[in-house]
Structure 1
Amino acid sequence: MKLTGFYGQTVKRFLHLEHEPVSLITRSLRNAEIAVTETRDDAPVPRSSGEMGLQDAYVVSLKLNDYPNCEIWERGNTIKTDIRAGATYVYDMKKDPRFFINKPFHSLHFYLPRSSLDGIAEQSAAPRVAELPSQLGVGHDDPVIRHIGGALLQALRRPAEANQLFIDYMMLAFATHAAQAYGGLRWGVKVSRGGLAPWQLKRAYEKLDADLGGTLSLQQLAAEFGLSASYFSRAFRASTGLLPHQCLLHQRVKVAMQLMTLRDLPLSEIAIAVGFANQSHFTKVFSAQVGVSPATWRRGSLGTGESEN
C-alpha cells in the first residue's frame, strides 16, 4: 500500500475543511513520517467524510468535544455511537473508516504508520508490535495521550515557538506509548540508565549551541553518536537532568544573557538572534527559567533603571 500520510491536504479533503490544518511532523523512526494535526469545524456542511486512503497505518484520535450519535462505518459495517470528549479512538487506515459529518467537531489526530511501530520494536530488540485494536466506536480513557496531546496543541497553535527537538521528542513519546499500550510492546533488552560519555555530552552541547534556531532534529543529533533517538534522549537526560529540547531553551537563555550585557542591543533583536520566534516567546521562556523578565534582569545586570524594549 502506498503511504500518503494523514495530515495536511489529506486531512483537509477527508473532513472537507476550508483551509489546510497545521500539522507537526517528525521522522525519527526509520524516516517514517509521524504527524499530528488539530482539526475543528464549528459549522460543517452535513455530508459524508472523504477517504483516508488505504494505508498500512493508524490514526489515533483524541476527541476534544462530544459528538453524540456519530455514524461511522468501515468495510460495510455501520454503527452509531456517542463520541466523548477526552477519549482516544484508534482507526486502522487499511479498513477505510469514514463517518457522517453533521455536527461541530474538534479533534487531534496522530498519524502512525506501521513502519514507525516496526522501528520502535527494532530499537527495543522486541518482537514485532501487534496490530493496534481498532474496534468501531470503542474509545479509550488514556491520560498519557491527553497529556501529550495537550502539549502538542500549544505547539500546533504557535508553531513558530516549537523547536524540532521538542516535536521529535513528544512524537516519539506518543509512538512508544501507542506501541506499548495498544500494541503490546515489551522491551527485549533492559533500558540503560547510563548517561553520555563526557566527550559525547560536550559534542552535544556544541551542536545545540550551533543551532539555537532549533532546526536540528532529534534523529540528526543522535546520529552524531550512532545512537537511536530514544536512547540518546534517555542518556542525555541521565547526564544533564534535562531533555534535549529543554536544554536548547536553557542554551538560548544563556546566550541571551550574554547579549543583554550589550546596552544598545534591543531585546527584540536579541530574541530573534538566539532562536526565539519573537520577544513575547523570549520573555515567557526567560521568565520561567530565571524568575524575572528579561528587562528586569537586564536593569539589574547593567545597574540602570532605564526601561528596555
Structure 2
Amino acid sequence: MTALATAPDLSRHEVFDVLAHSRAQLLRSASLGDGLAVAVWRNAADATRYSRPSHHTLSLYLSGGHGTWRREAPDLRGEPGRLCVMPAGHESRWVVGGEQSFVHLYFDEAQLAPLAVRLLDREPREVQVPDLTFVGDGRVAGPLHALSMLDWQDPQARLQANALGHEALAALLVVHATRGHRTPPRGGLSAPVRRRLVDWTEARLDQPLTIGEMAAEAALSEHHFARMFRTSFGIAPHAWVLWLRLERAKQLLRHTDAPLDEVARQCGLASASHLVNRFRARTGVTPGQFRRLRQAQPERGVFRSP
C-alpha cells in the first residue's frame, strides 16, 4: 500500500522518504520541534534498503515484526518492544514478513551535540551513535513507546512528545553511545578549556555575549576560536549560546511565574517579542503555551531534556 503524502518537514529525512515510496503505510507523522520528527508506520511483505542517510533514526516495534530480519544480521528477528538504531551514514537491507507497526524518531547530529557535551562531558565528534538491530532496552523503549501513544495534533501532547523524544535520545547516548576514536581527536579546544567555557557562558546568560569575549576567555583569536569551537562543540558559538538561553527560558517558564520580559532579561534576550519568536521557532509553541502545558505535566525522570 502506498504511503500517504509526505509532510514537507519530514520529506528531507531519507529513511522517511524510502518508506514513503515503499509498500509501507504512513499512519501519522509530526514535527516535534528541536529538530525532532516522528512517524508511525505499518508494513508487511516488503523489502527496504537504507543507503547512507544523512540523519539518525531510532525505531521501536509496536506490533508484529517476528518475520522481519536484516540481511546483515539474518539470525535476528524483530518483535514488539525491540529497538533498532540506524545511524547517519549506515547501510542496511531489510526483509519484512508479516504485518508490523513501528515508530520512527528522526534526528540530526546537531540534536546530539549539546547532549554529548552536557551529559557525557565529551565532544560530539568523540561520540558515535551505535548501529543496533532488535535490541531490548526499556530505558530507551519506554519513552519512545509513550511518545508513540500520544495525539501529536494536540499541542500539550506534542510538547510532551518533545520531552519524551529528548529523554529517549539522552538514554540512547548514556547507555549505548560509543567512542568514535580510540585516541582523543586532534584539533578543537582542550577539555579543560571546553569545561571552563561552558561554566563561564552559563554564568553570563543574562548578559550580552560576543564571540570576542568568548575567544578571550579561551585565549584565542576570534577566527581561530570560532573554528576550534565548532570542531569541539559540533555547532557554532552563537548557536550554542542560543541553545543555552532557550534551555534557561524553559526552566524559568516551568518553575516560575516571571513575566515574559523578565524571562527574556534573565536569558539575555533583547525583549519579550524576541523571546517569543526564538522560542516558537525552536519548539513550535509560544512561551505562554509552553508554560501552561508544562506546568500541567509531571516532570520526567533521569533522562529528561537538560
Once the two structures are TM-superposed, the CA of residue 140 in structure 1 deviates from its matched residue by 3.0
Task: Find the counterpart in structure 1 of residue 41 from structure 2.
Answer: 39
Task: Find the counterpart in structure 1 of residue 128 from structure 2.
Answer: 131
Q: Conserved in 2, the CA contact under 8 Å of 1:69 and 1:80? A: no
Task: Find the counterpart in structure 2 of residue 16 from structure 1.
Answer: 23
Q: Deviations over 1:90-145 (max 9, x none)?
A: 1234222121122111111111322221243356663225212214x4x3332233
Residue 174 to residue 93, structure 1, CA distance change in 2 (3 Å): same
Residue 7 to residue 160, structure 1, CA distance change in 2 (3 Å): farther
Q: Deviations over 1:53-95 (max 9, x none)?
A: 422432211112242353313xxx4523221321222123422
Residue 64 to residue 119, structure 1, CA distance change in 2 (3 Å): same
Which of 137, 144, 147 is residue 149 of structure 1 equivalent to?
A: 144
Q: Conserved in 1, the CA contact under 8 Å of 2:55 and 2:106? A: yes
Which of 147, 150, 162 is residue 155 of structure 2 equivalent to?
A: 162
Residue 64 to residue 117, structure 1, CA distance change in 2 (3 Å): same
Q: Conserved in 2, the CA contact under 8 Å of 1:7 and 1:35? A: no
Aligned length: 208
Q: TM-score, normalised by structure 2?
A: 0.53
Residue 68 to residue 167, structure 1, CA distance change in 2 (3 Å): closer
Q: Conserved in 1, the CA contact under 8 Å of 2:59 and 2:104? A: yes
Letter in 2 for 1:64: L
Task: Find the counterpart in structure 2 of residue 227 from structure 1.
Answer: 244
Letter in 2 for 1:165: L
Task: Find the counterpart in structure 2 of residue 216 from structure 1.
Answer: none
RMSD of the alignment, in Å? Answer: 4.4
Partners of 1:114 and 1:53 in 2: how far apart? 17
Partners of 1:228 and 1:123 in 2: how far apart? 14
- Superposed, 1:177-256 pairs within 5 Å as 177-183=171-177, 227-239=244-256, 247-249=291-293
Q: TM-score, normalised by structure 1?
A: 0.52
Residue 225 to residue 39, structure 1, CA distance change in 2 (3 Å): closer
Partners of 2:57 and 2:12 in 1: how far apart? 13
Moved more, 118-127 or 89-98: 118-127
Q: Does 1:171 align with 2:165?
A: yes
Letter in 2 for 1:48: A
Letter in 1 for 2:13: G
Could you list the runs of 5+ residues in structure 1 that have no partner in the other structure?
193-198, 200-222, 254-284, 286-309
Instruction: State percent identity of aligned pairs.
Output: 12
Which of 69, 82, 85 is residue 87 of structure 1 equivalent to?
A: 82
Residue 78 to residue 165, structure 1, CA distance change in 2 (3 Å): closer
Which of 63, 88, 104 is residue 65 of structure 1 equivalent to?
A: 63
Q: Conserved in 1, the CA contact under 8 Å of 2:65 and 2:97? A: no
Residue 102 to residue 226, structure 1, CA distance change in 2 (3 Å): closer
Give the secondary structure class of the aligned counterpart of 1:22: strand
Give the secondary structure class of the aligned counterpart of 1:97: strand
Partners of 1:113 and 1:226 in 2: how far apart? 15
Task: Find the counterpart in structure 1 of residue 303 from structure 2.
Answer: none
Partners of 1:166 and 1:238 in 2: how far apart? 16
Letter in 1 for 2:52: L
Residue 175 to residue 235, structure 1, CA distance change in 2 (3 Å): farther
Partners of 1:24 and 1:54 in 2: how far apart? 23
Give the secondary structure class of the aligned counterpart of 2:36: strand
Give the secondary structure class of the aligned counterpart of 2:63: coil
